[in-house]
């Protein structure tokens, strides 16, 4: 196998054909798509000169078989591109990788202190590669959680067996509260990206104290618009008299839908109404997976009875000494925090 590090924008753009082909072969989320990774880098991360692109490309003979969409941040952490906004991170690959060989190569070619891979699902390829070799200088730890429901085609909520009469009654109440509003699904096929409405709702959320002032930055909105234009993303919108009350940015791939970012005003239960309306539309004719994304929030658990799944973080150090130093530093930090809390009290 031939391992190569891609470290500039021009070469990154040239990977599109091979990347798209690999992406089609596997069951990946939109976060592993070329569009998400390229535009995350091009629009946002590349603007910080301390970030270094470090995509790992693996070839078998002349065929590209693996991409690890990595970059090195200002703290010399090797990580997945835009991992903080990607609900699920992973490589894309058509083969089983020997990560020890890959790690040996990366150590000599990429200036990093630690590999930090977050938001890994249980069956993430990169997680299984690391478990197969059991590096003594690595850690795999529980990270966040995420929630999803699997629905048979039919009339929602009747097509979900986990719901009891309580949920059905609550859904009817939520819909009654919002029966003066309409729900629409916007895509690039039926409408231009409604940037003005999004910005207006953003300002309303900040004014209401629902979000901080740095919510939905210009760079993030440019990425969202690009995903919308490339048909990876649609908008679930609730409106009344041409005024938008709620927007959910939904990532879609085949029959899987992920509520990525939610926006809403102070209308009663408007976000839940948006969820219910969208789920009803996409599940009426086919079985679907509806993913509520990272965060096992109580209002989602109570209302939708989703399955709760674990995400993981993997840390790989250059050697065992760095691993021990990191563990020692973490212990010191925990002790310092405990002492501080006692002093404050």
Helices assigned H by DSSP within the chain: 9-13, 16-25, 34-43, 99-109, 125-133, 165-177, 195-208, 218-229, 270-283, 298-304, 320-344
271 and 326 assigned to the same domain? no
131 and 12 assigned to the same domain? yes
pLDDT bracket for residue 135 (50, 70, 90): low
157 and 74 assigned to the same domain? no
- Whether 261 and 249 have beta carbons less than 8 Å apart is answered as yes
Per-residue pLDDT of 150-181, as tens digits, reads 999 999 999 998 888 888 999 999 999 999 99
244 and 205 assigned to the same domain? yes
Q: Is residue 15 part of a domain?
A: yes
pLDDT bracket for residue 101 (50, 70, 90): confident
Q: Is residue 291 part of a domain?
A: no
Per-residue pLDDT of 268-305, as tens digits, reads 999 999 999 999 999 999 999 999 999 888 888 999 99
Arithmetic mean of pLDDT, 6-32:
96
Number of domains in the chain: 2
Give φ, ψ of 164 to 5 degrees.
-100, 180
13 and 131 assigned to the same domain? yes
- Whether 110 and 73 have beta carbons less than 8 Å apart is answered as no
* Bridge partners for 248 per DSSP: 236, 262
Domain range holding 52?
2-144+311-344
Rounded Cα gap, residues 66 and 205, in angstroms: 41
Report which of 116, 93, 112 is spatially closest to residue 1, judged by C-alpha positions: 93
158 and 133 assigned to the same domain? no
Which domain-ending residue is among 245, 270, 286?
286
CB atoms within 10 A of CB 50: 9
Rounded Cα gap, residues 94 and 77, in angstroms: 26
Q: Is residue 300 part of a domain?
A: no
186 and 130 assigned to the same domain? no
Q: What pLDDT shows up at residue 131?
A: 78
Taking phi over 0 as left and psi of -120 to 50 as alpha, with beta for the rest, 158 belongs to alpha
- Whether 38 and 16 have beta carbons less than 8 Å apart is answered as yes
Strand 114-120 and strand 243-253: the pairing is: unpaired
pLDDT bracket for residue 333 (50, 70, 90): very low
CA separation, residue 181 to residues 214, 234, 265, 275 (Å):
29, 19, 13, 14
Arithmetic mean of pLDDT, 34-44:
98
Q: Is residue 299 part of a domain?
A: no
Arithmetic mean of pLDDT, 18-36:
96
Q: Is residue 302 part of a domain?
A: no
Helix/strand/coil percent split, the chain, to 5: 40, 30, 30
104 and 234 assigned to the same domain? no
| Complete edge-to-edge strand list for the sheet that includes strand 92-93 | 2-6, 55-60, 63-68, 92-93
Rounded Cα gap, residues 65 and 1, in angstroms: 9
168 and 67 assigned to the same domain? no
User: Who contacts 259 (Cβ-Cβ below 8 Å, separation ≥6)?
Assistant: 236, 248, 249, 250, 275, 290, 291, 292, 293
Q: Show the CA angle centred on residue 318, arms to residues 316 and 323, nearest 5°.
A: 65
- Chain-centre distance of CA 52, in angstroms? 21
95 and 28 assigned to the same domain? yes
Tokens of 110: 């990429």
Please give the full DSSP string across 249-301, using - where no structure is assigned.
EEEEETTEEEEEEEEE-SSTTHHHHHHHHHHHHHHSSS-EEEEEEE---HHHH
6 and 51 assigned to the same domain? yes
134 and 185 assigned to the same domain? no
Per-residue pLDDT of 297-327, as tens digits, reads 888 899 999 999 999 999 988 655 555 555 4
**CATH code for the domain in which residue 176 is found:** 3.40.630.30
Gyration radius (Cα) of the chain, Å: 22
Per-residue pLDDT of 197-236, as tens digits, reads 999 999 999 999 999 999 999 999 999 999 999 999 999 9
- Whether 64 and 92 have beta carbons less than 8 Å apart is answered as no
User: pTM of the full predicted structure?
Assistant: 0.91
Q: What percent of the chain shows pLDDT beyond 70?
A: 91
């Amino acid at each position: 196998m031939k391992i190569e590090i891609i470290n500039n924008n021009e070469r990154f753009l040239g990977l599109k054909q091979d990347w798209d082909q690999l992406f089609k072969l596997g069951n990946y989320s939109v976060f592993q798509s070329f569009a998400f990774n390229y535009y995350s880098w091009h629009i946002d991360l590349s603007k910080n000169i301390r970030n270094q692109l470090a995509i790992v490309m693996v070839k078998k003979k002349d065929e590209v078989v693996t991409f690890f969409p990595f970059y090195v941040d200002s703290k010399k952490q090797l990580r997945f591109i835009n991992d903080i906004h990607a609900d699920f991170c992973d490589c894309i690959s058509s083969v089983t990788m020997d990560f020890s060989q890959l790690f040996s190569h990366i150590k000599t070619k990429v200036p990093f202190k630690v590999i930090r891979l977050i938001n890994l699902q249980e069956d993430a390829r990169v997680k299984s590669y690391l478990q197969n070799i059991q590096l003594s200088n690595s850690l795999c730890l529980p990270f966040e959680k995420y929630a999803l429901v699997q629905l048979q085609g039919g009339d929602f909520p009747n097509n979900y067996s986990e719901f009891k009469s309580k949920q059905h009654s609550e859904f009817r109440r939520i819909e009654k509260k919002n029966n003066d509003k309409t729900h629409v699904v916007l895509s690039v096929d039926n409408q231009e990206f409604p940037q003005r409405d999004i910005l207006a709702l953003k300002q309303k959320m900040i004014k209401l104290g629902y979000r901080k002032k740095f919510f939905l930055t210009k760079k993030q909105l440019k990425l969202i618009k690009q995903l919308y234009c490339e048909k990876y993303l649609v908008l679930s919108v609730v409106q009344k008299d041409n005024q938008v009350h709620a927007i959910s940015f939904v990532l879609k791939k085949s029959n899987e839908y992920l509520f990525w970012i939610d926006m809403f005003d102070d209308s009663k239960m408007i976000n839940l109404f948006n969820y219910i309306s969208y789920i009803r539309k996409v599940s009426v004719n086919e079985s679907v997976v509806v993913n509520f994304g990272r965060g096992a929030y109580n209002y989602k658990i109570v209302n939708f009875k989703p399955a709760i799944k674990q995400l993981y973080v993997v840390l790989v150090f250059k050697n065992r000494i760095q691993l021990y130093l990191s563990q020692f530093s973490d212990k010191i930090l925990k002790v310092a925090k405990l002492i501080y809390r006692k002093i404050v009290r």
